[in-house]
Structure 1
Amino acid sequence: MDRKTLQSRTKKFHVDVIHLCEAFPKNAAGFETAKQLIRSAGSVGANYRASVRAKSPADFLYKIEIVLEEADESHYWLEVVKDAKLQAGSELDRLIKEANELTAIFAATDKTNKTKQNRM
């Protein structure tokens, strides 16, 4: 997958999470979970975008590791949303799948770049 496609995909993930969170219950659990989920989903896109502008291979790897952590955290919060029944439906299931796929993509990117750095 090319850089531009992945930038678009991570941005769409963030926007879709925002829309999902708008329908959360208006209580402490809904607000706090939405806040955590929106932050982690936003960090995926923002930090991936920053990784493209990395100053060195080591800087790129550092930023990709942040993206990986945030994608995994987003996956966690989406599962909490489902388990706590804050939201349900096909859009939530799609976002859980997308978070899982993004985590896998960035885990593979991290592994590939660590292998490249070890060869240098």
Structure 2
Amino acid sequence: MGKSILKDKSYAFSLLVISRYKILISDKKEFVISKQFLRSGTAIGALIREAEFAESKKDFVHKLSIALKEANETLYWMELMKDSDYLNNQSFENLYSRCRELVAMLVSTIKTAKPKNN
């Protein structure tokens, strides 16, 4: 996989998630949902890094598929935090659009890497 846009963007997203998590626990005193958001949001990049040294193409696709699931879960936690007033619209839009971009990139990469079945 080497140097990739997906790897770079997922790492940058993880840093944003950590930054937002720190604000949520210090300013909003929100500890439960924000921890779920932290775990799923940072797992995306970790799984992409794992896929970098996958044992096979099938393993590569599997790890990226789990990253995709984590990204989808992260979208859920962000929606929940926005709708419960833990995230303002600007923070939500910034994080949400970046996560949606990761979702699109993961879907594309998975489709490209999957073997074609007849």
Which range, TM-score by smaller chain? 0.7 to 0.9
User: Does structure 1 retain, via aligned residues, the 8 Å contact 2:17–2:41?
Assistant: yes
Provide structure 1 residue ranges, at least 5 long, that are not aligned to the other structure.
Answer: none
- d(CA) in 1 for partners of 2:116 and 2:57? 8
- d(CA) in 1 for partners of 2:64 and 2:116? 14
Shift, 1:118, TM fit = 2.7
Equivalent pairs counted in the alignment come to 114
Shift, 1:109, TM fit = 1.7
Provide structure 2 residue ranges, at least 5 long, that are not aligned to the other structure.
Answer: none
User: Does structure 1 retain, via aligned residues, the 8 Å contact 2:6–2:102?
Assistant: no
User: Does structure 2 retain, via aligned residues, the 8 Å contact 1:20–1:92?
Assistant: no
Shift, 1:117, TM fit = 4.6
Q: Can you list the C-alpha shifts for 1:26-75, whole angstroms capped at 9, x where unaligned?
A: 1xxx2011110000011100000110111111110110111110111111
For residues 55-94 of structure 1, the aligned pairs below 5 Å read 55-94=55-94
TM-score (norm 2): 0.87
Structure 1 counterpart of 2:93, one-letter code:
D
TM-score (norm 1): 0.86
Q: Which residue number corresponds to residue 17 of structure 2?
A: 17
- Which stretches of structure 1, 4 residues or longer, exceed 3 Å deviation after superposition? none
RMSD, aligned CA: 1.7
User: Does structure 2 retain, via aligned residues, the 8 Å contact 1:23–1:87?
Assistant: no
